[in-house]
Structure 1
Amino acid sequence: MAETETRLRRLIADDVGECCDDDVSRRLDELDELADETFADDGASTVFAVLGNETRYRLTRLLSAADDELCVCELEPLVDVSESAVSHALSDLADAGLVDRRKDGNWRYYTSTRLAEDLFATADGEVDA
């Protein structure tokens, strides 16, 4: 922490010409407040954590690209994991708000949500830019 405070002191001094302990303390308090506000009830971290797994990412990407809803049995061969692993991954994705599910008798059908589609559209747009 001492090295961080030293660097912060140099930054403040470069910006305003001088720096004292109170300046460093005040800036650290401001930064702590920013972090508290930013990470309080951060739903985005859940979404990105879920997409950090290759299987869940691929399932979300496939559902976003599909023209219609897909069943677990249709998704399983596309991600090369067991049916139970696909079901578990889809459950995690539904909990994160990235897929919607519908049960019809013995079958569960999945579609991507607007959130997932918007995330991929934004990411694709940035990559293509």
Structure 2
Amino acid sequence: MSKQKLVVLGQDEDGCCPTLLTAPMDEGQAADLAKVFKALGDPVRLRLLSMIASREDGEICVCDLTPAFDLSQPTVSHHLKLLKQAGLIDSERRGTWVYYRLLPATTDRLAAVLTRPDSAPRASGPR
């Protein structure tokens, strides 16, 4: 297992996750969130995350990911490393293969930060 610390996005001391519409982010929260969005900002990494997240058994072997791209294995591994550093996925080595799985806590917190609270006024759209 990785010894990297998982950053809990947008979480205050009480464990509550404010949304963009309920409280302004401080500089640290914005920097942490930007790292995750940067990791998701590449089409290859977004596709990799989608392939990992959509697996019924919750994990996928790197040997099944690499053939889906017209990229070298080291390049695919680099993209996976960036997703892992962003706290979006985790991995486990089994023999010669590495298996990847989604870390739903991170994607759930991302969704919570971006979700409009029910009590927030709705924009009426373009005029």
Matched residues in 2 for 1:119 and 1:77: separation? 31
Matched residues in 2 for 1:121 and 1:40: separation? 19
Q: TM-score when scaled to structure 2?
A: 0.60
- Where structure 1 has 5 or more consecutive residues not aligned to the other structure, the ranges are 1-33
Q: Does the CA contact (< 8 Å) of 1:50 and 1:93 recur in 2?
A: yes
In percent, how many aligned pairs have the same letter? 34
Alignment of 1:1-129 (within 5 A): 38-40=26-28, 42-68=31-57, 69-115=59-105, 117-118=107-108
Q: TM-score when scaled to structure 1?
A: 0.59
Higher relative contact order (CA 8 A, sep 6+): 2
Q: Relative to total residues, which structure has the larger helix share, 1 or 2?
A: 1
Supply the AA of the counterpart residue of 1:61.
S
How far 1:120 moved relative to its partner?
8.4
How far 1:116 moved relative to its partner?
5.3
C-alpha deviations, 1:42-85, integer Å up to 9, x for none? 31110000100111111011111111311111001223322111
Matched residue count: 90
- Over the aligned positions, Cα root-mean-square deviation in angstroms equals 2.8
- Where structure 2 has 5 or more consecutive residues not aligned to the other structure, the ranges are 1-22, 117-127
Matched residues in 2 for 1:120 and 1:80: separation? 29
Structure 1 residue ranges, 4+ long, deviating more than 6 angstroms after superposition: 119-122
